[in-house]
Amino acid sequence: MIDTPVWVQVVYLVAAVCFILALKGLSSPKHARAGNLLGAVGAVMACVVVFFYAELDHLVPILVAIAVGTVVGVVGAQRVQMTQMPQLVALFNGVGGGAAALVALLELADMVEGDHGEFALAATAFTIVVGSVSFAGSMVTFAKLQELMTSRPVLFPGLPVLFGGGLLVAVALSVMTVTSTAVWIGIVLALVGLLLGVLLVLPVGGADVPIVISLLNAFTGLTVAAGGYVLGNTVLLVAGTLVGASGTFLTKLMAAAMGRSVGNILFGALKGGSTLGAGEASDRPVRSGGPEDVAILLGYAHKVIIVPGYGLAVAQAQHTLRELVDVLGERGIAVDYAIHPVAGRMPGHMNVLLAEAQVPYDQLKEMDDINGDFRQTDVVLVVGANDVVNPAAKTSPGAPIYGMPILNADEAQQIVFMKRSMRPGFAGIENELLFDPKTTLLFGDAKDSLGKLLSAVKAL
Amino acid sequence: MSEPIVWLTIFTLSVFVGIEVISKVSSTLHTPLMSGANAIHGIILLGAILVTGYAESMVALVVGLVAVVLATVNMVGGFVVTDRMLQMFRPRRPVAKADQDGAPR
C-alpha cells in the first residue's frame, strides 16, 4: 500500500467533521435532514478520493460491486414500509459488520508475513470477531422482527455455558492471532463470532430487540474504528468511534426509557425473569362501548390526549387517526398525541409512523412534557397501546415492566381503549386500567373502529 | 501518524465527541438517529475498496468484492432510508411554536 498524501488526509478530516455535524444535526428535528445529507456528502467524498491516489487494481469489478450495492440499498430503502423500519436498520447494520469482518480477514492475510506490531494484530482480531457478532446478531434480530422465527426469548439448557465458552475461545484465538498470525485462525475466529452473535440475541424478547439493534450498531461502529487503525485510515477510526460512542450512549438512553439496564435486557431471560409473559386473554368483566358512545365522549370533551401504540401502525390506521384529530380540532377540542419513548417497535418509531401520516411533529408530545396534563384531560384515547399506560409499572414490583416510566393515562377523567381483543401487550401482563370504572373499551381492528368513530363524530 | 498513542488520542477524543453531540437528542429522533449513525459506519466501504484494490489472489478479490457490495448496501441504503424518514418530519406551520423545537427532555 502507498502512503496517504496530505491532501487526502485533509479530505478525510473534512469528512470526519461532516460526520460529527451529521450526528449533531440528527439530534434536533429542525436540522436532522440536513445533518443526514451532510453525513452522506462526507461519506461519498471520502470514498471517491481513494480512487484518485491509491493506484488500485480491479477498478471495473469494484465499480460494478458498488453499483450492485447501491441498487440493492436504494431499492430496499425505498420499498420498505415504515412499520418495518427496525428490521431494515438491523439488516443494514448487519451487512456493515459483515463487510468490516471481511476487510479485516483480508488484512490478516496480508499480515501473515512481516512484523506488523501487536496492536495492529489485536485490532484485526477484534474487527473480525466483533464484526461477525454484529453480522450474525443483526440477522437474528431481523428474523425475530420479520417474524421469520418466534419473537419470544429462545433459551436452551447450556446456553450460558456455550456462550461463556465461546467468549473464552474467541479471546484465546485473538491472542493466537497476535502471537502466531495465520489466516485459518482468523477464519475460525469469524465462525466463533457468528456463533456468539446468534447466542447473544436468541434469549432477547421481541420487545427488547430494538435495544439490541442499537447495541449491535455501536458494535459495528467500534469494529469500523478498529479496522481504521489496522488500515491506517483516520476517517474510518473517527467515524467508527463516533458511531460506537454515540450508539452505546443511545442504547443506554433507550434502555433507561424502558426502565431497564442494558445487562437486564441482554441477559434477563437467562436469569429466569422472562421479558415475555403468558400472553393469555383474561375473562374478567370490562365495560365496552360502541363507536357512537365514544364519539359522544370525544365530541363534547375540552381536552383529549391520544396514546398511539404499535397496534395502530399494524392496522395502518395512522391516516384515519389524523383525520379524526383534525375533525376534533375543528370542533375546538385541544388534542395532543402523547408519545411514549418506546411506543412502536423501536424508540422513536411512533414519531416516524405518525410523521408518515403527516401529523405535525409539534403535536407529538414527549412523555415528560405531557404527563402533568393528564389530570386536566377529559378523555384519553389509547389506540393499539397497552404496556405504556399500564399502572403495574408503578404499583406491582413483581411485574416485568415494573420501573418503566409510563404515561399517566390513569389520571384522566375518562379512558377509552381501542383494542382488538383482551390479549395483553408485549410484556404479557394484565392491565388493571382496562378494568377501571373510568375505562371504556372499543373492540375491533384499529382502522375499522377509527373509521366508524370518525363518521360518528362527524355526525354529532 | 502511526504511533499507537496518536491513534489512541484520536480514539479517546472521538468517544467524547460522539457522546457529546447526541447527548441532548429528543426521543422523537431516536429511530432516525440510529439509522443515520448506522449509515455512517458504512464508511467501511472505503476500507473495502482499498483491500480489494490491492487484492493479489482470486480468493482475496472475491472476498473483497463481497465486502464492497455489503458496505455499499449499508452506506447508501442507510442514508437513503434515513432521509426518507426525515422528510416526513415537518412542523404544523412554518413559524408556529418554534420554541418547542428540540425541547430538552
**How confident is the model over A24-79, as pLDDT tens digits?**
999 888 889 999 999 999 999 999 999 999 889 999 999 999 999 999 999 999 99
Cβ of B62 under 8 Å from any chain A Cβ? no
Encode burial over A274-301: b for 16+ CB neighbours within 10 A, e otherwise.
Answer: bbbbeeeeeeeebeebebebbbebbbeb
CB contact under 8 A, B30 and A346: yes
Write the DSSP symbol of residue A116.
-
In the prediction, which pLDDT does A88 show?
A: 93
pLDDT per residue as tens digits for the range A240-285: 999 999 999 999 988 887 777 888 888 877 665 444 444 455 667 7
pLDDT at residue A358 greater than cutoff 90: no
Q: Which of A66, A68, A88, A87 is nearest to A78 (CA)?
A: A88
* Residue A300 neighbours by CB under 8 Å, 6+ apart: none
Q: Is residue A387 annotated as a catalytic residue, yes or no? A: yes
CATH architecture of A291-458: 3-Layer(aba) Sandwich (3.40)
List A residues 119-148 in contact with B (Cβ-Cβ < 8 A). Answer: 119
The answer to whether A32 touches B32, Cβ cutoff 8 Å, is yes
Q: Using CA atoms, how far apart are residues A253 and B27, in angstroms rounded to an integer?
A: 9
Q: In whole angstroms, what is the distance from residue A180 CA to residue A107 CA? A: 15
What residue of A is the nearest CA neighbor of B67? A99
**Å from B101 to nearest chain A CA?**
7
**B44, B46, B50, B51 alpha-carbon torsion, rounded to 10°:** 10
Nearest residue in A to B17, CA atom = A242
Helices then strands, each counted (H, E), chain B: 5, 0
pTM reported for the whole predicted model: 0.83
DSSP, res A153: P
Please check the confidence at residue A423 and state whether its pLDDT lies above 90.
Answer: no
* Residues in chain B closer than 8 A to A244 (CB atoms): 15, 18
Half-sphere exposure of A147 (CA within 13 A, CB side): 2
Q: Which of A208, A336, A387, A410 is catalytic?
A: A387
Q: Which of residues 19-58 of B touch A (CB under 8 A)?
A: 19, 21-55
At residue A304, the 3 state secondary structure works out as strand
Residue in B103, B33, B21, B102 with CA at minimum distance from that of residue A349:
B33
Quote the minimal CA–CA distance from B42 to chain A in Å.
6
Q: In chain A, what residues touch B46 (CB-CB under 8 Å)?
A: 46-47, 50, 233, 235-236
Percent of chain A with pLDDT over 70: 95
pLDDT value at position A219? 96
A8 contacts in chain B (CB < 8 Å) = none
Beta partners for residue A264, in sequence order? none
Residues of B in contact with A250 (CB under 8 A): 22, 25, 30, 33-34, 37
Per-residue cell: A336? 395532543
Q: What was the pLDDT predicted at B65?
A: 97
CB contact under 8 A, A339 and B27: yes
Q: Which residues of A touch B36 (CB under 8 A)?
A: 22-23, 26, 32, 35-36, 39
Distance from the B73 Cα atom to the nearest Cα atom in chain A, whole angstroms: 4
Determine the 3-state secondary structure of A396 from DSSP.
Answer: coil
The separation between the first and the last C-alpha atoms of chain B, rounded to the nearest angstrom, is: 41
- Number of H-type helices and E-type strands within chain A: 17, 6
Give the pLDDT of residue A17.
96
| CB nearest to B88's CB, from A76, A244, A356 | A356
pLDDT digits (tens, 9 = 90+) for A279-321: 455 667 788 888 998 999 999 999 999 999 888 887 888 889 9
The angle, 0 to 180 degrees and rounded to 10, between the axes of the packed helices A59-79 and B44-53 is 150
Decide if B70 and A35 are in contact by the 8 Å CB cutoff: no
Q: Give the cell for residue B12.
A: 479517546
pLDDT computed for residue A279 by the predictor: 47
ipTM above 0.90, yes or no: no
End-to-end CA distance of chain A: 76
**Residues facing residue A339 across a β-bridge:** A366
Test A348 with B31 for CB contact under 8 angstroms. Answer: yes
The answer to whether the CB of A195 falls within 8 A of the CB of A143 is no
Give the per-residue pLDDT at B104.
Answer: 41
pLDDT at A159 over 80: yes
Q: Which residues pair with A307 in a beta bridge?
A: A382
- Tell which B residues from 74 to 93 touch A, by Cβ distance under 8 Å: 74-93
- Which residues lie below 8 Å from residue B19, measured CB to CB, with a gap of 6+? A245, A246, A249
* DSSP element (H, E) containing A130: helix A118-145
User: Which chain A residue is nearest to residue B1, measuring alpha carbons?
Assistant: A232
Q: Is A4 helix (H, G, I), strand (E, B) or coil?
A: coil
- Which residues in B lie closer than 8 A to residue A123 (C-beta atoms)? none
Closest chain A residue to B37 measured between Cα atoms? A243
| Mean per-residue pLDDT, A171-198 | 94
Give me the mean pLDDT over the A362-373 stretch: 88
pLDDT value, residue A63: 96
Spatial contact of B25 and B33, defined as CB atoms under 8 Å apart: yes
A288 CA to chain B: closest CA distance, Å?
33
Arithmetic mean of pLDDT, A136-153: 88
Sign of CA pseudo-dihedral A65, A71, A76, A77:
positive
Of B61, B65, B83, nearest to A352 (Cα)? Answer: B83
Looking up cell 434536533, which residue turns up? A28
Q: Are B7 and A229 an interchain contact pair (Cβ–Cβ within 8 Å)?
A: yes
Residues (pLDDT < 50) of chain B are 1, 93-105
With CA atoms as reference, the chain B residue closest to A116 would be B2
State the cell numbers at A153: 426469548
Average pLDDT over residues A350-373: 86
Q: How far is CA A35 from the centre of its chain?
A: 19
A241 close to B14: Cβ distance less than 8 angstroms: yes
